[in-house]
Amino acid sequence: AQSVTQPDIHITVSEGASLELRCNYSYGATPYLFWYVQSPGQGLQLLLKYFSGDTLVQGIKGFEAEFKRSQSSFNLRKPSVHWSDAAEYFCAVGVLGGYNKLIFGAGTRLAVHP
């Protein structure tokens, strides 16, 4: 069955520090992978997505993610975190067939210290 695991429930970093959020997936075929961010009072916003091609994907707000098939991972990174990055981050895998639905991980809550 398809699934997404985000091992870190909560992460705290200092402003200006680098960030890596982990995501592992289980999917029988070539995965379509997504990272979303959820801020209080706002809808989920797509940060980036991987469909095929270059395994290093650039997204909005300075985020990037690298797809590693051998590790079944799609980790999200940012070289320098800003206080405004504090939010909940969700990794998702797209399941083809039917209406192409998304399966979400449990999320990682990011706190940023000044």
11 binds another protein (CB under 8 A): no
Which of 2, 32, 64, 72 is in the footprint of another protein by CB under 8 A?
32
DSSP string for 14-62: ETTS-EEE--EEE-SSPPEEEEEEE-TTS--EEEEEE-SS-SEEE-GGG
28 binds another protein (CB under 8 A): no
83 binds another protein (CB under 8 A): no
CA 75/CA 110 separation, integer angstroms: 14
Segment contacting another protein by CB under 8 A, of 15-23, 33-41, 59-67, 68-76:
33-41
45 binds another protein (CB under 8 A): yes
Would you give the distance in Å from CA 56 to the centre of its chain?
13
Residues engaged in binding another protein (CB under 8 A): 32, 34, 36, 41-46, 49, 51, 90, 94, 96, 98-107, 109
